[in-house]
Amino acid sequence: MKLRIDTTGVSFVCTRAPEQRLAFDSGQPKVDRETGLPLWQVQLMALDASGGDVIAVTVAGDPNVTVGQPAQVDGLVALPWSQEGRSGIAFRWRAGDGKSASCQPLNQARRPRTRASASRSGICNCLCAWL
């Protein structure tokens, strides 16, 4: 089950350089089954008026982002998982049109609301409030 996450009012900043995802058994790069693009893992800080969390997000295609760069993240989904007595949530970033997602500096994308305006409008919800 994929759970879409509303990122309205959430600012994202890259906190670690992207790393290509590798298959544990072969060491070969993992690829997206739908697009054939290589998978990357990006560590992002998600920040809204209630605070911040650091999340690891899988992206299809080179995310083209650097540490400290703000990023526009649309199409974020959460994928709950359970395996051998362990469980967690994997985050996947995918553009709404099915193409690979990529980081965009905020000066090239829409700017998120400021904390003050987001708080006044009542839309600031913690990214993981549904957990």
- The pLDDT tens digits of the residues spanning 66-109 come to 999 998 888 899 999 999 999 999 999 864 344 444 455 444 44
**Higher per-residue pLDDT: 25 or 113:** 25
The whole-number pLDDT of residue 103 equals 54
Q: What is the CATH number of the domain that holds 55?
A: 2.40.50
Residue 20 lies in a domain: yes
**Which 3-state string (H, E, C) describes 60-114?**
ECCCCCCCCCEECCCCEEEEEEEECCEEEEEEEECCCCCCCCCCCCHHHCCCCCC
Residue 111 lies in a domain: yes
Indicate if the pLDDT at residue 30 is higher than 70: yes
Q: Number of structural domains, the chain? A: 1
Residue 128 lies in a domain: no
Q: Tell me the average pLDDT across 57-70.
A: 90
Domain with 82 in it: 3-116
Residue 129 lies in a domain: no
The two three-digit tokens of residue 77, written as one number: 């989904």
Q: Tell me the average pLDDT across 17-30.
A: 94
Residue 52 lies in a domain: yes
Indicate if the pLDDT at residue 54 is higher than 70: yes
